Amino acid sequence: MQDIKQQLIGDLKSATTAEQVEQLRVNYLGRKGIITTLAKNTDFSKFSPEEKKEFGQKLNELKNFATEQIGAAVEQSRSLGEKSSKREIDLTAPGAGHRLGSLHPITMTQMELEDIFQGMGFSVLYGPEVESEYFCFEALNIPPDHPARDMQDTFWLKNHLILRTHTSANQVRTLKRFGAPVRAIFPGRCFRYEAVDPSHENTFYQCEGLMVDKNISVANLIAVMKTILSEVFRKEVKVRLRPGFFPFVEPGFELDLQCLLCGGKGCPTCGDGWIELIPCGLVHPEVLRHGGIDPHEYSGFAFGIGLTRLAMMKYGIHDIRHLNSGDLRFNEQFAPML
Ligand code: PHE
């Protein structure tokens, strides 16, 4: 009995979980437990009455000892278990917080442009990113052997379709579909075979615009561009036109914005005080004809805002590669304050 007691004390020390303690109870006090079988297996016939009495007393002591100790261990393991499960729902712990998503700077710039143009009566249309050669080049006066195709080399698909190199591909689509008069912008993703560096990407965004009506002139083009840019930059801006060549406009221009950083005096960002921003011009008569519009009756202007470039200027982003990086740390910086 002394041995059993010592063994039990040792076992109790190593039993920590409620399950282990319960197993001890079964091992010692259960129907087939060590203490129970000890009483059953003892041959009392050999004992004198005194010995029987003493054995009975000792056995009872051992049983009581075991019952008490195991009972205490059960209590202890229960309260330990309660404590640890309480810890899991500690109501005083600081919250995990919600991660708020944020719009991409290009998306924000695009949405802003869409709002401004819609306020001026322009529709917003989205053409396909996978285009035909016809809409991307031929309908825009760029025949297969034209050098302008070299500057807009792109990704050719096996079925002779291409990834569009500019949103101008939507000009003739729109004219064919809606006829004249028409006023629309086409923001979207474009693709070119470019070596990627801080200012070049193979995937970028433009926002094309087209307005065709009777008596549309360069004066209308300038007025619309000035209004748009003043809205985007939230102040009155100065613009200038330089001649520029694009096969699908005549005359064609580069519209420059007077630098907003130095006010036109000249600085490291702009050089001479002007930033080249929007290629544009009056729609070439041949393009109108492709769209089924009579160039003697109607005229119009088209422009191609570099949406990626505009977003970079607006948000002060110096490396174009951040935009397609998928790095949330970059994106989260532009989340509006709540
Ligand atoms: N599509 C031309 C480009 O990507 C830009 C452009 C658009 C020029 C509209 C004139 C008119 O380079």
Nearest CA to ligand 1 atom 7: 304
Question: What residue ranges in 73-177 does DSSP mark as E strands?
Answer: 123-124, 130-131, 162-163
Nearest-CA residue for ligand 1 atom 6 is 304
**Nearest-CA residue for atom 10 of ligand 1:** 280
Q: Could you read off the pLDDT of 227-265 as tens digits, one per residue?
A: 999 998 888 889 999 999 999 999 999 999 888 878 889
- For residue 135, the CA-to-ligand 1 centroid distance in Å is 13
Quote the pTM value: 0.70
CA-nearest of 245, 271, 121 to 183 is 121
CA of 211 relative to ligand 1 center, distance in Å:
14
**pLDDT tens digits, residue range 135-188?**
999 999 999 888 888 777 888 899 989 999 999 999 999 999 999 999 999 999
The answer to whether 240 and 322 are in contact (CB under 8 A) is no
Ligand 1 atom 3: residue of nearest CA: 166
Q: Percent of the chain, pLDDT > 70?
A: 97
Percent of the chain with pLDDT over 90: 54
Contacts of 209 (CB under 8 A, 6+ apart): 117, 122, 184, 185, 186, 224, 302, 303, 304, 305
How buried is residue 315: exposed, middle or buried, by Cβ count under 10 Å (0-12/13-18/19+)?
middle
- If one residue of 246, 249, 277, 284 were mutated to test the ligand 1 pocket, choosing by the most ligand atoms within 8 A of its CB, it would be 246
Q: Which of 83-87, 120-124, 204-208, 306-310 has the lowest mean pLDDT?
A: 83-87
Name the residue of 167, 168, 309 whose CB sits within 8 Å of the most ligand 1 atoms, as the mutation to test its pocket. Answer: 168
Q: How confident is the model at residue 313 (pLDDT cuts 50, 70, 90)?
A: confident
Protein residues with CB under 6 Å of any ligand 1 atom: 166, 168, 246, 249, 279-281, 302-304
What are the CA-CA distances from residue 287 to residues 169, 179, 306, 319 (Å)? 11, 13, 21, 35
Backbone phi and psi for residue 292, each to the nearest 5 degrees, phi listed first: 80, 20
Distance 275 CA to ligand 1 centre (A): 16
Confirm if 181 and 302 have CB atoms less than 8 A apart: no
DSSP 168: G
- DSSP letter assigned to residue 278: E
